[in-house]
Amino acid sequence: MAAAALAPPQVTASAGHHLDFDVIVVGAGIIGSCAAHAAASRGARTLLLERFDLLHGRGSSHGDSRIIRDAYAKARYVPMVHLARRLWADAEAESGYRVLTPAPHLSFGPRSNASLLAALENAGGAEEVDLSMRWGGAIRVPDGYLASVSERGGGVLSATKAVAMFQALAVKKGAAVRDNAEVVAIEKGPGGVVVVRTSAGEVFHGAKCVVTVGPWASKLLRSIAGVEIPIQPLHTLSLYWRVKPGRERDLTAEAGFPTFSCCGGEPPVYGTPSLELPGLIKISCDGGPPCDPDSRDWVAGDKEITERVARWIEEAMPGHVEAAGGPVIRQSCICSMTPDADFVIDFLGGEFGEDVVVGAGFSGHGFKMGPAVGTFLAEMAIDGKANTAAEAGVELGHYKINRFDGNPMGNGANNH
């Protein structure tokens, strides 16, 4: 696909002009862009609306890389990630370029860590390894740690490129894409039509609507339907550290270095092979301080996060990565956490019934699932059910929007 296709053409509408669509998708991050592509691929007249510029850096879908991994402590996600892998491959074949670089995935931590043991069991095919014998001994672990590798279970997704790919593919299938269109109201109109209004006074009419607005989900759903979903945006960081001289090739994807996650200590540390920025490696940790996506200070929690990761590097990768002086590059992101760290994939209900579908609260592990979740949302909007989920063995009952009613922890103790 030509590079020009990365910038989808935009639909124009004067204030108050009505445009009719089968499906209106609100929010053009990875989930919304995948949903728009899935809807348009099924023949639906589709409109994708984005509040900011396309491919902006204010939400959760931008940046150079995201991990895809099969090792999941929660077994419910394993068939979803397997489906997502197939759909990523399909999209790459359709677009003609690559956004996923395969890699092994390394999981390690204390042998007593229940989440680690569950992830290794669910991964299937993961084998215990002696880290002193792999990757030039780049990673050191304390006594009593378990390390296991799934040779085909990891990978690195080029994040912003992937979002652009799905937007371009959606346009190719006939979707209209519009940015700088902030949705301020979603209403039920005469005859059951869904009316979507923007801050510029534009009005769009659709048969169905899919809401995928990331860290703005709680605010928008409260505004349009009075629905309270406990989704807490967190300010997170992606950190890139300098690889020590002479070790640059050892840590590259070409050399077979893995994506990895370490369950030892809180919060967990993760990393990717040196890939998008030569001579640098991405190593960061989960979590961060709560934030308001409309009034971020962009630095809260940075010191604590970088110090945590620097200490980990000094203990685990001292011969290969330079921690002194801190990271070379810091990239801010937002993680939208639910109390149980499970997604929300459901009909909005109430007066909207099954005419508005919500995808939200992806809790730091949704990007890899984008093509699968986007397909579920599109099918729910068009057909009233997600046949692809059922065929893949994905049970969407875990992701109900009302699971927090009278139960603040949602899936809570039943998380695995």
Q: What is the pLDDT of residue 18?
A: 52
- Cα distance between residue 256 and residue 261, in whole Å: 16
Q: Which amino acid is at 37?
A: H
Q: Which amino acid is at 154?
A: G
Annotate 373-404 with b (16+ C-beta within 10 A) or e (fewer): bbbbbbbbbbeeebebbeebebebebbbbebb
Determine the longest span between alpha carbons in the chain, in angstroms: 68
What separation, in Å, do the N-terminal and C-terminal C-alpha atoms of the chain show? 41
Q: What residue has token string 């039943």?
A: 414
Asked whether 236 and 223 are in contact (CB, 8 A), the reply is no
Query: Low-confidence residues of the chain, pLDDT below 70?
Result: 1-19, 413-416
Asked whether 404 and 230 are in contact (CB, 8 A), the reply is yes
Q: What is the pTM of this model?
A: 0.94
Helix %, strand %, coil % of the chain (to 5): 30, 25, 40
Sign of CA dihedral 27, 32, 38, 41: positive
Q: Is 311 helix (H, G, I), strand (E, B) or coil?
A: helix
Asked whether 357 and 379 are in contact (CB, 8 A), the reply is no
**DSSP character at residue 286:** S
Six-digit token pair at 227? 């629905």
- Cα distance between residue 345 and residue 352, in whole Å: 15
Q: What is the pLDDT of residue 414?
A: 59
Q: What is the pLDDT of residue 412?
A: 78
* Cα 272 to chain centroid, rounded: 16
- Cα distance between residue 292 and residue 334, in whole Å: 10
Six-digit token pair at 190? 């005469």
Q: Which residues pair with 91 in a beta bridge?
A: none
Asked whether 2 and 165 are in contact (CB, 8 A), the reply is no
